[in-house]
A = this chain, B = another copy of it.
């Protein structure tokens, strides 16, 4: 067995990213998207890290989706010029949006109301805008057959701001079978195309038909009429996605290294220095078939210890217990372990950077540190 020498070096807890797994996850979806004949616009809100997005686009800036203007501004600094800001427009943020356009970034914004369309129309210049269309009641969006859709489209088109439509099958995070995920992908595509057709029928030009979520992006088999696919979580994946069958546990690229700091054998507890501050409070697997607590434990080499989970958390303490109720393995104080997270987006956000690891025959090395973008 190789020695994980480098992983014994930084003080715990810290976040590690397995670069080979990131590349494998990126290649898998990349091949799928190529076969479907659409372009990929990865959502960078999971990793929030320029080097990860660079990997998606073969080392060069390409189209991305962001969840904050802070992400847009940092990616623009790194040469990204085709950015979709996929959170509904807050009129107060218009100055920063205009500043990015001024810099030469094609920053596309998202709206789902006449009020927001009027804000766009009063901006004094064209702002590329997608209309959010709701396909599954997950969050925002207008319905594809709502008369307000062509009304919004008309207001946008009058100032040259109508770029197209966007659909996000957010409810697919609760589809637990391949058949259900495939149906969600098909429905997401159908709603997106129906909305675009509705606008075209009103005499409007629709260039962008944007769809996607990590589950539906992988399950889609027909994206005719869709111009671009979005997915974010897939670069790292997590226990929620593994629980949905979108990936396996072996695909999880993000984990948190923790240290054993105590034992309560009468309770079957191992206490670590990784609490919710290191993992987040996300309990996304709580309602899945297998509840993974706050995370699944692996050894320092990444081999899952499937009977051992992080079952509870306080701010800087994690409690590890066995599912079986058996005593946990003997892990002396000072032992380092890794915890696979429920939700990569939430766990990543607890850290300022990732230690990027590579597994060699001689051991694990930390070969880089990738910064994360923070704030709004």
Contacts and interface: CB of A to CB of B under 8 A. Distances in A.
Nearest to A342: B281
Contact of A332 (B87, B115, B267, B375): B115
A113 B262 contact: yes
Contact of A264 (B12, B89, B140, B261): B140
Contacts of A267: 137
A329 B369 CA distance: 47
Contact of A88 (B261, B282, B374): B261
A91 B271 contact: no
A196 interface: no
Interface in A260-289: 261-264, 267, 271, 273, 276-278, 280-283
Interface string A83-121: 000011111110010000000000000001101100100
Interface in A303-338: 314-317, 319, 332-334
Interface stretch (A20-28, A157-165, A345-353): A345-353
A13 interface: yes
Given A67-B277, A88-B262, A92-B259, 14 more contacts: A11-B376, A13-B376, A87-B316, A88-B317, A90-B261, A90-B334, A92-B334, A115-B332, A116-B261, A139-B319, A278-B376, A281-B281, A315-B345, A352-B374
Interface of A: 8, 11-14, 45, 67-69, 87-93, 96, 112-113, 115-116, 119, 137, 139-140, 170, 259, 261-264, 267, 271, 273, 276-278, 280-283, 314-317, 319, 332-334, 343, 345-346, 349-352, 374-376
6 contacts: A11-B376, A91-B334, A140-B271, A280-B281, A351-B375, A352-B374
